[in-house]
Structure formats: structure tokens, C-alpha cells
Amino acid sequence: MLEPGAAPFTISSDPISARCDPREPEFFRDPYRFYIELHRQKASPFQWDDYGHWCFSSFDDVSALLRDKRFGRQILHVAAREELGLPEPLPHTLNFDAAERYSLLSIEPPEHTRLRMLVNRAFVSRQVERLRPRIEALTHEVIDSFESDGGTELIENFAAPIPVIVIAEMLGVPREMCDRLLDWSHRMVAMYMFGRTYETERDADNAALEFSEYLISLANERRNDLRDDLISHMLSTEANGERLSEAELVSTAILLLNAGHEATVHQTGNAIKSILESGFDPRSLFSSDEQTAATVEEALRFDAPLHMFTRYALEDIEYKGISLKKGDTIGLMLGAANRDPARFANPNTFDPFRSDGANVSFGAGIHFCIGAPLARLEMQIALKILFERLPSLRIAAEPQYKDVYHFHGIDKLMVAW
């Protein structure tokens, strides 16, 4: 156990490295103390001993490496397992691996180019904007369910239902399935935790199997009853004369469902906490469409939901004095980059009126989040309506954080009004 007030990390120099256990509560509740010290020591890159790979914490490095085509999310398309010394796939995660096989987050061109082309049209801004009336109505409906209570737990009762219902409706999944979707998603996302266990892996594999079987069944029903939804779109759309295979459809639908709510739930909770602790009158932060958009962008910068994005070196590379071999993993620290004092004035202050507001929270390059326009719209609408309807909203108890580092988010946020 840490001594009270002790930093949950150590940073050494020559060569610069750090020890910081991602499972340490003092760290995952507030990773920013670590980032502040990394920036003070100009530690980008540094060797993160707990992970066993190089990490990059500066805005310039993270932004550049997200776009650098010498790195990728996939490695086995350019090298064999034997060449890299990688172990064989785990026999008890074959269903999970199959569900992830064609994930847009994990594949490279030409597969990535073709699959993204098949689904991208549904997520461009002009298409997403058509959802505004539905998101507004849903936000009011959710607030109606607890407004008279005088207080509520805001993650489960507000942040979670809106994005999962929206993405389910977009895909054509019945609303009554939303609880099952959340369960499958949470169990699968646990696979990305540091130090996952055998039990976690087996549970994620079972969730992936159930999720996949459900989507295959739904797709089979929809083949004879095409509608105005994403499942129908993926079944009928062609790219260069090709359509999605069943395995590609399953991977894509699972990614859209998981990514379509998981990060947005965390970001919504983080944003509400940031706004309520900032000292600003929330009414001033949502006084116009432009200011609403700026407030959401600052929330994305200040307390992002995804803090590390890993990539493989696709060839032997020399970068900033470090030698990387083909197959080496690097960690891009999105949350640290968003707080880089070399890029932002007063980076650790929440300021929705800043003029240097940029962020890498949605990534960059070919893996830039396909759902970014939808996530932005959902947050702009939901946060504006929340603070308009509950102007005296306040935090009623110490927020409780999820016990994971990579997805930095609040588990329970008790509020009152």
C-alpha cells in the first residue's frame, strides 16, 4: 500500500523510464499527477517498465505517431508469429479473436480501407445531424425519469442509456436488447485491461460468442427485410463489387456497438464532473452552439476517456534516438498529450474559452474514430439539455472511478439538485 500522499509512480533518467502500476487505485483515479511529472522531465519517449514498451507522452509525438504509416494496429500482415516470437492464439479466446478479426480498430489497409468505405457514409456529419431530434427527445425522456427525485446516480441513469440506445437504433437492434448489449460489451472490453486474468479471458470469450450469434441471427432476419438501419446498409452496400462477409459484418457491428457507447459514457461522466468542479456557471458554457461545441472539445481534451492507444512498428525504425524492431509495441498516451504544456497554456485547467483547444482523444490518421461526429453531437445535446433542466446540479458524493487505466472513467457519480 502507498503511504498517504505518496506518488504512485517513480521516474528515472538515463535512460528515462518509469514504474507506475496501472492497477494502483491512486493512479487510475488520477493519472494526471504522473503526466505532469512526465512533462516536467520532458519524458517523451520513456520506457514504461510495467508494460515493457516505449511510450510517448508529448502532443507532438502522439499526433505524429498516430499518422506515421511505419506503425500500425496489426502486425501479422507483414510478419509471421515465428519471426516475431509471438505465442500462438489462446485456445480459450478463439471466439473473442474471431469477433475482433475484422475490427476497424485492429486492421490495416487494404482491408481497413475497404471496410471503412462500406460503413463510413453512415457516420459523416451530415448523416449524423439527422439524429439530432431523436437525441434531444431521448435526453428529455431520460431526465424525465429521475428529475422529480432530487438526486440520482448519473452514470447509470443518464450517461449510459443515451449512447447505447442511439447506436442500437442506428444498427437496427431492438431497444429491449440494450441491457444485453451493455453486458456483452463490458465483458469484452475487460480484455484490454492491464494484467487480465484467465477468468476474464474466458468470460470475454463467452460474451463474444453470445454477441456474435445474436448478430448473425439478426442479420439473417434482416436479409429478407432490409430497413433504414446500419445492419441493412452493411448487408446491401458494395465496395468495388464486394460486400461484407458474415465475419466482417459481425466484427464491424460489435466494434460500432462497443465503441459507440463505451467511450461516450466515460466522456460524458468525465465532462459533467469537470464542468461542475470548474467554477464556471454552466449556463455560460452552453449559451450558443459555438460555445457548446467549444465546451465539449475542452472536456475531451481535459479528461479524455481513452488514455493509451498501442501500435506496432511495421519495420525496424529509429525514432527520436530509440531503436525499435519490427513487431515492437509502442504506447501513445492520449491523456498525457492532451495535457502537454508545450502545446496548451495552463494545460491542467479546465477552460472552455481557451483559444488553443485541440485534442487527440479521437486519435488521428486512418484509425481516427469513425464515430467522432456522433459522439460530439450526443455530448453537445445531452450536456446542454442536462444543465438547462437541472441548473442547480451539484456533486453529492466523491466520484468513484472504474478500476481500469486505459478507459479512464467514473463508475458512480452521485448528484443532487
Amino acid 260: pLDDT: 73
DSSP state at residue 2 = P
Give the Cα separation of 332 and 326 in Å (integer). Answer: 17
- Which pLDDT score is estimated for 240? 67
Q: Which three cell numbers stand for residue 257?
A: 456497438
Distance separating alpha carbons of residues 70 and 365, to the nearest angstrom: 12
Query: What number does CATH give the domain 10-416?
Result: 1.10.630.10
User: What torsion do the CA atoms of 229, 232, 235, 237 make, to the nearest 10 degrees?
Assistant: -60
User: In the prediction, which pLDDT does 306 show?
Assistant: 93
Candidates 256, 347, 363, 349; CA nearest to 308 is 363
Positions of the chain with pLDDT lower than 50, given as ranges: 1-4
pLDDT value at position 1?
A: 39
Q: What is the DSSP letter of 393?
A: -
Task: Spell out the alpha helix ranges (H) of 224-303.
Answer: 230-236, 246-259, 262-278, 282-285, 289-302
Domain boundaries, the chain: 10-416
- Please tell me the pTM assigned to this model: 0.93
pLDDT digits (tens, 9 = 90+) for 239-289: 667 788 999 999 999 998 888 778 899 999 999 999 999 999 999 999 999
DSSP string for residues in 325-384: -TT-EEEE-HHHHTT-TTTSSSTTS--TT-S-----TT--GGGS-TTHHHHHHHHHHHHH
pLDDT of residue 156: 95
What is the structure's pLDDT at 192?
81
